[in-house]
Protein backbone atom coordinates (compact mmCIF):
# COMPACT_ATOMS: atom_id res chain seq x y z
CA UNK A 1 0.00 0.00 0.00
CA UNK A 2 1.20 3.53 -0.78
CA UNK A 3 1.74 6.00 1.98
CA UNK A 4 -1.63 7.75 1.35
CA UNK A 5 -3.70 4.55 0.96
CA UNK A 6 -5.62 3.80 4.14
CA UNK A 7 -7.64 0.94 2.75
CA UNK A 8 -6.83 -1.95 0.50
CA UNK A 9 -8.75 -2.05 -2.82
CA UNK A 10 -10.92 -4.89 -1.49
CA UNK A 11 -12.10 -2.74 1.46
CA UNK A 12 -13.43 0.12 -0.67
CA UNK A 13 -17.18 -0.17 -1.30
CA UNK A 14 -18.70 0.76 -4.63
CA UNK A 15 -22.11 2.47 -4.53
CA UNK A 16 -25.11 0.70 -6.00
CA UNK A 17 -26.01 1.74 -9.57
CA UNK A 18 -28.03 4.96 -9.37
CA UNK A 19 -30.86 3.67 -11.57
CA UNK A 20 -32.58 0.35 -12.11
CA UNK A 21 -31.77 -1.37 -15.40
CA UNK A 22 -35.27 -0.72 -16.76
CA UNK A 23 -35.24 3.02 -15.89
CA UNK A 24 -37.30 5.24 -18.17
CA UNK A 25 -34.57 7.88 -18.23
CA UNK A 26 -30.81 7.65 -18.42
CA UNK A 27 -28.43 8.98 -15.82
CA UNK A 28 -27.38 11.66 -18.33
CA UNK A 29 -31.01 12.80 -18.69
CA UNK A 30 -31.41 13.10 -14.92
CA UNK A 31 -28.14 15.02 -14.68
CA UNK A 32 -29.24 17.37 -17.49
CA UNK A 33 -32.40 18.14 -15.48
CA UNK A 34 -30.34 18.84 -12.39
CA UNK A 35 -28.02 21.09 -14.38
CA UNK A 36 -30.96 22.99 -15.89
CA UNK A 37 -32.50 23.77 -12.50
CA UNK A 38 -29.09 25.01 -11.30
CA UNK A 39 -29.32 28.30 -13.21
CA UNK A 40 -31.02 31.15 -11.28
CA UNK A 41 -33.22 32.24 -14.21
CA UNK A 42 -34.41 28.69 -14.93
CA UNK A 43 -35.01 28.12 -11.22
CA UNK A 44 -37.22 31.25 -11.10
CA UNK A 45 -39.10 30.23 -14.24
CA UNK A 46 -39.83 26.73 -12.96
CA UNK A 47 -40.75 27.97 -9.49
CA UNK A 48 -43.16 30.52 -10.98
CA UNK A 49 -44.79 27.87 -13.17
CA UNK A 50 -45.21 25.52 -10.22
CA UNK A 51 -46.89 28.33 -8.26
CA UNK A 52 -49.27 29.14 -11.14
CA UNK A 53 -49.75 25.76 -12.86
CA UNK A 54 -49.78 27.25 -16.37
CA UNK A 55 -48.86 30.61 -17.89
CA UNK A 56 -48.43 32.06 -21.36
CA UNK A 57 -44.92 33.07 -22.34
CA UNK A 58 -45.99 36.73 -22.09
CA UNK A 59 -47.38 36.32 -18.57
CA UNK A 60 -44.37 34.33 -17.44
CA UNK A 61 -41.89 36.80 -18.91
CA UNK A 62 -43.67 39.70 -17.17
CA UNK A 63 -43.66 37.96 -13.77
CA UNK A 64 -40.00 36.88 -14.09
CA UNK A 65 -38.92 40.31 -15.34
CA UNK A 66 -36.52 38.95 -17.95
CA UNK A 67 -35.44 40.32 -21.31
CA UNK A 68 -36.87 38.44 -24.29
CA UNK A 69 -33.84 36.61 -25.80
CA UNK A 70 -32.47 35.53 -22.45
CA UNK A 71 -35.89 34.47 -21.19
CA UNK A 72 -36.80 32.34 -24.21
CA UNK A 73 -33.42 30.62 -24.20
CA UNK A 74 -33.84 29.55 -20.55
CA UNK A 75 -37.47 28.54 -21.06
CA UNK A 76 -36.44 26.38 -24.03
CA UNK A 77 -33.74 24.72 -21.93
CA UNK A 78 -36.38 23.69 -19.36
CA UNK A 79 -38.61 22.33 -22.14
CA UNK A 80 -35.71 20.46 -23.77
CA UNK A 81 -34.81 18.54 -20.59
CA UNK A 82 -38.45 17.71 -19.76
CA UNK A 83 -39.03 19.92 -16.72
CA UNK A 84 -41.56 22.14 -18.52
CA UNK A 85 -44.02 21.32 -21.27
CA UNK A 86 -45.54 23.69 -23.75
CA UNK A 87 -48.99 23.68 -25.24
CA UNK A 88 -50.13 25.81 -28.13
CA UNK A 89 -53.71 26.99 -28.36
CA UNK A 90 -55.33 25.34 -31.38
CA UNK A 91 -57.50 28.25 -32.38
CA UNK A 92 -56.52 31.90 -32.51
CA UNK A 93 -58.36 34.57 -30.61
CA UNK A 94 -58.23 38.32 -31.29
CA UNK A 95 -54.60 38.40 -30.14
CA UNK A 96 -53.48 35.38 -32.16
CA UNK A 97 -52.11 32.03 -31.00
CA UNK A 98 -50.59 31.67 -27.58
CA UNK A 99 -48.17 29.12 -26.26
CA UNK A 100 -48.71 28.09 -22.66
CA UNK A 101 -46.12 26.54 -20.38
CA UNK A 102 -46.63 24.31 -17.37
CA UNK A 103 -44.34 22.26 -15.15
CA UNK A 104 -44.13 18.53 -15.76
CA UNK A 105 -44.38 16.07 -12.88
CA UNK A 106 -40.61 15.74 -13.07
CA UNK A 107 -40.28 19.53 -12.94
CA UNK A 108 -42.42 19.72 -9.81
CA UNK A 109 -40.51 16.84 -8.24
CA UNK A 110 -37.01 18.16 -8.88
CA UNK A 111 -38.00 21.55 -7.53
CA UNK A 112 -39.77 20.28 -4.41
CA UNK A 113 -37.40 17.45 -3.52
CA UNK A 114 -34.18 19.04 -4.75
CA UNK A 115 -33.23 22.66 -4.25
CA UNK A 116 -36.26 23.67 -2.19
CA UNK A 117 -35.75 20.71 0.16
CA UNK A 118 -32.20 21.91 0.82
CA UNK A 119 -33.52 25.42 1.51
CA UNK A 120 -36.17 24.05 3.91
CA UNK A 121 -33.50 22.12 5.78
CA UNK A 122 -31.37 25.25 6.09
CA UNK A 123 -34.35 27.15 7.55
CA UNK A 124 -34.99 24.32 10.01
CA UNK A 125 -31.31 24.31 11.00
CA UNK A 126 -31.35 28.09 11.51
CA UNK A 127 -34.54 27.87 13.60
CA UNK A 128 -33.13 25.08 15.74
CA UNK A 129 -29.80 26.78 16.45
CA UNK A 130 -30.62 30.48 16.56
Q: Check residue 112 and report its DSSP letter.
A: I
Q: What are the average pLDDT values for consecutive 10-residue runs of the chain, which has 130 residues?
A: 71 86 87 90 95 92 83 94 89 70 93 76 76
**What are the two backbone dihedrals, phi and then psi, of residue 45, each rounded to the nearest 5 degrees?**
-60, -50
pLDDT of residue 55: 93
pLDDT of residue 112: 85
pLDDT of residue 89: 72
**What are the two backbone dihedrals, phi and then psi, of residue 70, each rounded to the nearest 5 degrees?**
-65, -45
Rounded Cα distance, 62 and 66, in Å: 7
The whole model's pTM is what? 0.76
**55 DSSP β-pair partners:** 101
Catalogue all structural domains in the chain, each as residue range(s) with its CATH number: 27-129 (1.10.10.10)
Amino acid sequence: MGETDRRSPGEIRRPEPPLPEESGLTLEEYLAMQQAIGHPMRFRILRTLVANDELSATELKRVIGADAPNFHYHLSELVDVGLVEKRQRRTADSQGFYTYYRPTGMGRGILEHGVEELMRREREFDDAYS
